[in-house]
Amino acid sequence: MTTPTHCPYCALQCGTAVAPSGEVTPRQFPTNRGGLCQKGWTAGSLLGHPERLTTPLLRPARAAPLGPVSWDAALGHVAQQLVRLRATHGPDSVAVFGGGGLTNEKSYLLGKFARVALGTSQIDYNGRFCMSSAAVAGNRAFGIDRGLSFPVTDLDDAEVVLLAGANVAETMPPLLGHLGGAQLVVVDPRRTPTAERAIASGGLHLQPVPGTDLVLALGMLHAAVADGRLDTDYLTARTSGLEETWRVAARWWPERAERVCGVAAADMRAAVGLLAGAQRRYVLTARGAEQHAHGVDTVTAWINLSLALGLPGRPGSGFGTITGQGNGQGGREHGQKADQLPGYRRIDDPASRAHIASVWGVDAAALPGPGRSATELLDALGRPGGPRALLVFGSNPLVSAPDATAVAQRLAALELLVVADFLPGETALAADVVLPVAQWAEEEGTLTNLEGRVLRRRRALDPPPGVRTDLEVISGLARRLGASGFPAEPERVFDELRAASAGGPADYAGISYARLDAGEALHWPCPGPDHPGTPRMFLSRFAHSDGRARLVPVDPPAAAEPPDAEFPLRATTGRVLVHYQSGVQTRRIDELAAIVPESFVEVHPDTAARAGLADGEWARVVSRRGSVLARVRCVPSLRIDTVFLPFHFGGEQTANRVTNPALDPLSRMPEFKVAAVQLIPTRECVTVLEHCYALTGAEYLR
C-alpha cells in the first residue's frame, strides 16, 4: 500500500504516493493533477542512497577528520560547547541557520529553541535568499504576505499572465499545465523555455538588461497611464498612493525606459495592452525580480502596475509571487527569520512578544530582540562580537550564500559548526559535528505551499537505524541545555504552533492534523475549528487597517555593481530543470546528474569569441570576489552583455563565488542576479587571478 504525501522539492508541493519500496509516483492533487517533473519522479532514489548519513560524526580537532560517534557523545559534545561559549561570551555567541525546506513544525521549534533554550537573537534562514523581497513588498502593499492570494487552479482560466523573473518551465513544470490557455508575457534576460512558451502562445518575451526590471515596470506603468489603461473605479475604491506613485512613473516614459532596460517601448505598450484588454489576467513575480539589492522596490513596481490595472483582490485576476522552496511560505511564518515570531508576528512588537511568551511560558522581557539577517549573520561568524558557534538545519550555505569564498572563511573561523543533514553536503563536510536526520518520506509534519495551503507530510518509511528526526535532535539538545517544553512529536509541536499563531497575520489556529487528514483544503488564515480557511484573499478588503492596498512610489537606484572595463559582463544565476537548490540531492541521482553533470556558463557566441572561447571549452567566470569554473555553452539568443550560471554545483563550480553580497535595505536580500564579471580561458586564469588578488585581496584560487 502506498502512502499519500507530497514532493520534497519546490513549493508547488505536488501530490505523490510513496510505496514501501521507496518508489515515488504522482497522484491527483490540484497543483499537479497527476503529473510530476523529473525531480519529483526520481525523489525516491535518495531514500536508500549509499552516501546516506546514518551515524553522528565528530571532528575531535579542527585538523582531524570526521569520525563516527554515538548520539550521546555527539549531542553531549555540542551541548558542552554551547554552554561554555554562552557562559564566556553571552547567548549571542551561538547562532542558528535554518531552511525553507523544513516543515512548519521544525521551523517553529527551531525558532523557539534559539530564543528560549539558547537565548540568542542570532537566527535566520536560507529563505532570506528566496522570498524576503517579495514578502516586504507584499506586506507594505497589501498588509500581509502570502505568495499567492488565490489557488493555483484559478490560473486555469487566465487569458493573459505576466511572469516577471519566473522560468516555471524548468523550476515548476507542472505549473505550466495551469497556464496552457493563457497568452504569456515573460520578463527574463534569457530566452528560457518559459520565454519560448510565451512566444508560441502569441505573447511576448521582454528581455531586459539584468537588474533593470524596475525600470521596465515603471515604463509599463507610464504606458498604462498615458494610454488610458487605468482601472480608475478600482483605484478610487480600493487603493491609495496613485498620485505619489505617478510622480515618479511620469519621468519614465517608455522611450526613456527603453534606453536603460533595452526593451522596446512598443513591446512595453503591447504588454500593457494585453493585460488591460483581458478579463482574467495575472501578474506573477519570482526570483528574477526579487534577488536584487533593490528587490523590494522591483517587486513593488510590478505590484503598482497590477494595482493600476485593477488585478489584486478581483475574482479571475490577481498578483502573486511564486514561492520557491518546498516550505518557503510556512518557513518564514513561524519564527526562523531574525525579525519574526510565530504567526508572522514582528519580534519588536510588545503585544506579539507578550502573546508568544505566554504560549512558551517565559517572561516576554527574556525574549531576545531582532538579530542579523542571513548574509549579515554569516559575515559576522568568528569575528569580534559575532557568533562563535553555528547550528545549521536544512541548509547548505557554502553553496547557496553569496560570496561563497568569504562564507567558507567565516565558517572556518568558528569554534563550533554543527550541521544536521541526511547527505554529506559541502557545509556538512566542513562541520565539526554532523547529525544524521530523517528525510521527507521518513517523517510526519506539515508544509504550506505557494497558495498558502497547509499540507500533510506523511511518514511512509522508517528512517534507517541510527537516524533521528530534526525534532528529536532539537528536543534532545534543549534537554541537555536544561530547557523544557520542546516536544519531539510533530502533532504536539503543531498544536503548540496553532496556539502561538492564533490572532497573528498567519493564523493557523483552526487547522489541525485531524482536519487535514480528513482531506480538507485549508488555506491560512484559518482562525477557528469551524472556519473553512481562506483560499482567496482580498476579495472585499486588503489587510491594511483601512482596507485599501497601497501603491508605493519607487525609483531605480544606482546599480550595486555596474560593469566596467575590467569586468564588462553581467552575470546572472538561476536554476535548471533537473537540479534543485544547492544540488546536494539532485547531483547524487544518476539519472539527473547524467543530464547536467557539471556547471556551465551560457554566453552569446560573439561574447565568447571576444574572450577567445569556443563552445564546450572550460572557462573561468571572474568577479571582484571570486571565480567559477564552468563549461562554455554558446547561446545565440542570450544578450551579448550577459552570462548565465546555474547555482546547483559546489567546489570550484560554485556560482555564488562571484555573486555580490550587497543587500536590499529593507529585505536584506543579497544581489544574486547581477554581478560584474569577465570571462577568461582556463589557460589564462592564473595570471589574471593573481592580478585580481593583488587588487582586492580575495583568495580566488582557494
| Residues 260 and 395 grouped into a single domain | no
Torsion of CA 489, 495, 496, 499, to 10 degrees: 180
Q: How far is CA 609 from the centre of its chain?
A: 35
- Residues of the chain with pLDDT below 70 are 683-702
Q: What are the residue ranges of helices labelled H in 463-520? A: 470-480, 490-501, 513-517
- Structural domain boundaries, residue 221: 132-321
| Residues 42 and 123 grouped into a single domain | no
With CA atoms as reference, report the closest residue to 261 among 195, 301, 210, 185. Answer: 210
Find the CATH number of the domain harbouring 623: 2.40.40.20
| Residues 415 and 301 grouped into a single domain | no
Whether 620 and 657 have beta carbons less than 8 Å apart is answered as: no
Find the CATH number of the domain harbouring 266: 3.40.228.10
| Residues 158 and 260 grouped into a single domain | yes
Cell reading at 61: 580537532
| Residues 313 and 395 grouped into a single domain | no
Sheet with 15-18: list strands edge to edge: 3-6, 15-18, 24-26
Q: Measured between alpha carbons, how far is 579 from 600 in angstroms, rounded to an integer?
A: 13
Find the CATH number of the domain harbouring 433: 3.40.50.740
| Residues 293 and 390 grouped into a single domain | no
Q: What share of the chain is helix, strand, coil (3-state, %, to 5)?
A: 35, 15, 45
Of 439, 454, 488, the residue at which a domain comes to its end is 488
CA distances from 329 to 322, 387, 439, 484, 580 (A): 10, 27, 20, 28, 17
Asked if residue 541 belongs to a domain, the reply is no
CA distances from 417 to 62, 129, 338 (A): 10, 21, 19
pLDDT score of 698: 36
CB atoms within 10 A of CB 433: 23
Q: Residue 13: what residue type? A: Q
Cell reading at 295: 528587490
With CA atoms as reference, report the closest residue to 507 among 543, 458, 471, 545. Answer: 543
| Residues 223 and 144 grouped into a single domain | yes
Q: How far is CA 419 from the centre of its chain?
A: 20
Of 432, 457, 488, the residue at which a domain comes to its end is 488
| Residues 305 and 390 grouped into a single domain | no
Asked if residue 564 belongs to a domain, the reply is no
Residue 462 burial (10 A CB sphere; 0-12, 13-18, 19+): exposed
Angle between helices 265-277 and 254-261 (to 10 degrees): 120
HEC string of 654-686 equals CHHHCCEEEECCCCCCEECCCEEEEEEEHHHHH
CA distances from 499 to 111, 453, 512 (A): 15, 18, 11
Find the CATH number of the domain harbouring 25: 2.20.25.90
| Residues 299 and 332 grouped into a single domain | no
Q: Measured between alpha carbons, how far is 479 from 487 in angstroms, rounded to an integer?
A: 10
Whether 439 and 457 have beta carbons less than 8 Å apart is answered as: no
pLDDT score of 324: 87
Whether 145 and 135 have beta carbons less than 8 Å apart is answered as: yes
Asked if residue 125 belongs to a domain, the reply is yes
Asked if residue 578 belongs to a domain, the reply is yes
Of 488, 521, 549, the residue at which a domain comes to its end is 488
Number of domains in the chain: 4
DSSP string, 242-310: HHHHHHHHTT--HHHHHHHH---HHHHHHHHHHHHH-SSEEEEE-HHHHSSTTHHHHHHHHHHHHHHTT
Name the helix (H) or strand (E) containing 696.
helix 685-696
Asked if residue 123 belongs to a domain, the reply is yes
pLDDT score of 62: 81
CA distances from 361 to 122, 356, 473, 623 (A): 21, 8, 22, 50
Asked if residue 556 belongs to a domain, the reply is no
| Residues 478 and 581 grouped into a single domain | no
Using the structure block, give the residue that is written with the C-alpha cell 501530490.
Answer: 15
Cell reading at 220: 509599463
Asked if residue 260 belongs to a domain, the reply is yes
| Residues 104 and 148 grouped into a single domain | no
For CA atoms 653, 654, 657, 658, give the dihedral sign.
Answer: positive
| Residues 314 and 352 grouped into a single domain | no
pLDDT score of 684: 58
Asked if residue 527 belongs to a domain, the reply is no
Question: pLDDT digits over 655-676, tens only?
Answer: 999 999 999 999 999 999 999 9
Q: How far is CA 473 from the centre of its chain?
A: 24
